[in-house]
A and B are shown apart, each in its own frame.
Chain A
Amino acid sequence: MVFLVQQTLLFAVPLMIVALAGVCAERSGVINLALEGIMIFGAFVGVLFIRIMQANNIFGQEQGQILMILAMLVAAVCGAIFSLLLAFSAINLKADQTIGGTALNMLSPAIVLFFINLIAQQNTLGMAKGGAASWFMIRPSTFGLPKDYSWGAIIDILINKVYLSTYICIIVFIGVSIFLYKTRFGLRMRSCGENPHAADSLGINVYKMRYAGVIISGALAGMGGFTYALTTTNCSSTGEVAGYGFLALAVMIFGNWTPLNIAAGGLLFGLFKCIAATYSTLDINGDGVYLLSQIGISPYVYRMLPYLITLIVLAFTSKKSRVPKAEGIPYDKGQR
């Protein structure tokens, strides 16, 4: 049970944060198809940062948590800078946003693999020393307690053998949601995705708001990309994130462009993804019976489940779908 909850969170958190990144951009009126590319770029920059810091002995293993937080920040900043390319083409040049996003999705793995090959002479860039678990995972020894120390069932789920990045992402997720829905700036940004001309007539600078949306989106996606690399691929960058960016896009549409639904969608998806990854060793109620692997269903059925269930749920909830009205349409002051 402990294992299931923690694993689900590991899968769900990058999806949630990147889906929220999509919301920020699309609510301001720009389709951000480049989420996948930005994630790849963020993962690369974060890993590279950790590698350089380790190689120069600036941080030791004891300061692992600080190093990780810094790497997340660096990934977020670089993700935001990278997303400026999309913002420039979509907002200033009024170009087709699908093309801009696709271009970034191609550019990012190309650049990343180009530099990884120059730096490491192979297609994978890992940490300079140690592994993600030994450097960044929170365990009793992080607090100076003995190795097999237990805080009791509930607290164990929360802080034993987890990554701090998961919680940072959850806090950021809540923060950005509040920002989008409870602040004046958030309201103005969302109005640019619904009716930019009305927003402009009330004195809101649509271009600035859309830039803000894309930049926040880039920062979140970059951070999500690094979180993915840290928790899922042992803090290494390989020029891909296993289609997580596109999955996040799907979770965003699934969640109807609202944070609460996205969180629910991300968790649902994460749960089934987790079952698919661990079904053979999954002991649901702790009685030593591996139920799922004993039914005798092909593993591919479990691996298909997250996608199949998304399709089925969509089929039943489709009527309520609401897309930001002005998304994908370049804002032209002269119109109307």
Chain B
Amino acid sequence: MLRLDPDTGKQKWYRSDASKSVLSAIISIIIGMAVGTLIIVIVGLTKDGISLKGMWEGIRLVFLGVFSTGRSEGNLTFGFNPVNMGNMLFRATPLIMTGLSVAVAFKTGLFNIGAAGQYLMGTMGTLTVGHVLGNTDCPIVIAWLAAFLAGVVLGGLWGAIPGIFKAFLNINEVITCIMTNWIAANLVTWWFDAHDIFKNAAEGGKVGYIIPLKNVGVVTPKMGMDVLFPGSQANGGFWIACIIAVVMYIMMTKTTFGYELRACGSNRHAAKYAGINDKRNIILSMVISGSLAAAGASLYYLAGNTEFFWSTYLSLPAEGFNGIPVALLASNNPIAVVFSGVLMSMLNIAGTQLKSLTAYNEYIADIIIAIIVYLSAFSMFIKQFINNREKKKGGNK
């Protein structure tokens, strides 16, 4: 039931559906953290070698991992840690992009489980063009743009394959996405295996890696990140991801095209009878989705000091699959994707801090993320619970 404010005639902001979604997400996060704490306590009690103090340290790190500044005189210290904060934003960048990719596809009623493959194609395009142009006297700005676009276009084309199969042959996009994932993994390995110029042969111990892009100077500008977070890997890629998220939000909610996409997502057949070209929209949605995932890879590798392990035909990049929980936690809202992406990478940083500073390992952070995602599935249930409470309150008056 819609409750309107008697003074303004509008719905109060805290009663709106959006704020209830946010509230239910926050409840999921709190419960997830609580379960993580519980695991720390249980493991601490059952395993020898972890003292009460170690347990307390573990709990504090789970909540305040990004603020950890290491250890002095045996005690954990907390404060503003620019390296951790910057790395958090840096690692959030690909997560935000793959999250956006999955979210846009979801809005069109497609489950893009192929972000991993699109991410790999983006990696291939960006690294190849970046190296080729970086070795010529091409201006850095143009080389950067070309490398970025090469990744995005390749990813978009790769995303088009499941879209075409879905639109024209009505083949479930899940199966085509899984197949294209592995084809991409082999294709990328094949490409880099065949071209020795990209391989990092100069540095010992770097067997199987591609030369980082900083060696040829094609690097994303810092855009103020080096001032805010000195010493960290953060760069302008994060701002670019934020801008893309806003663009996606405007596209999905404020334009005719976005409306058509969402109409196809709600009911493909109804959209068709309303005169919307459903086939075109499904393909375009997958193309956008693919380019977003690939843009995540481009931004990640254009950071310069990131290294790509090219012999990847047996495994797919985790970023591709982690986009799914990021999108789900944000209930497919592009703006919320930014926050859920940052939250995920914050928990990851907390995990690495746990590993380096205590006897626990980093997988506890993954457990917490998984529980948060699991609980976010109950958001309907939590919202209903909030609504019921409101009704009861209203009845008492």
Pick from B111, B189, B376: contact of A300, CB under 8 Å: B189
CA of A310 to CA of B179, assembled, Å: 8
Interface check A258, CB cutoff 8 A: no
CA of A301 to CA of B313, assembled, Å: 11
By a CB distance below 8 angstroms, the chain A residues around B313 are 300, 303
Q: Please, which residue of chain A has its CB at the minimum distance from the CB of B363?
A: A114
Pick from B165, B371, B378: contact of A314, CB under 8 Å: B165
Interface of A is mostly: helix
Q: Which residues of B, 146-189, contact A by the 8 Å Cβ criterion?
A: 165, 169-172, 174-176, 178-183, 186-187, 189
Instruction: Bits for B227-270, please: 1 = Cβ < 8 Å to A, else 0.
Output: 00000000000000000000000000000000000000000000
Q: Which residues of B, 344-371, contact A by the 8 Å Cβ criterion?
A: 361, 363-364, 366-367, 369-371
Taking a contact as CB atoms under 8 Å apart, the answer to whether A246 and B113 are in contact is yes
Taking a contact as CB atoms under 8 Å apart, the answer to whether B363 and A106 are in contact is no
CA of A318 to CA of B378, assembled, Å: 34
Taking a contact as CB atoms under 8 Å apart, the answer to whether A95 and B189 are in contact is no
Taking a contact as CB atoms under 8 Å apart, the answer to whether B190 and A300 are in contact is yes
Interface check A102, CB cutoff 8 A: yes
Taking a contact as CB atoms under 8 Å apart, the answer to whether B325 and A102 are in contact is yes
CA of A105 to CA of B324, assembled, Å: 11
Pick from B176, B193, B316, B377: contact of A311, CB under 8 Å: B176
Interface check A172, CB cutoff 8 A: no
Interface of B is mostly: helix
Taking a contact as CB atoms under 8 Å apart, the answer to whether A95 and B378 are in contact is yes
Q: How large is the interface on B (under 10, 10 to 19, 20 to 34, 35 or more residues)?
A: 35 or more
Given A95-B381, A98-B111, A300-B189, A110-B169 contact (CB < 8 Å): no
CA of A3 to CA of B156, assembled, Å: 41
Taking a contact as CB atoms under 8 Å apart, the answer to whether B190 and A250 are in contact is no
By a CB distance below 8 angstroms, the chain B residues around A106 are 325, 366, 369-370, 373
Q: Which 4 A-B pairs have the closest CB atoms?
A: A110-B366, A103-B374, A107-B370, A95-B377
> What are 27 pairs between A and B in contact, CB < 8 Å?
A89-B377, A89-B378, A93-B377, A93-B380, A95-B377, A96-B377, A102-B325, A102-B328, A103-B325, A105-B321, A106-B325, A106-B366, A107-B371, A109-B366, A114-B361, A114-B366, A117-B361, A243-B181, A249-B174, A250-B174, A253-B172, A298-B190, A310-B179, A311-B179, A314-B165, A314-B176, A315-B171
A residues near B, CB below 8 A? 85, 89, 93-96, 98-100, 102-107, 109-111, 113-114, 117-118, 240, 242-243, 246-247, 249-250, 253-254, 298, 300-301, 303-304, 307-308, 310-311, 314-315, 318, 321, 323
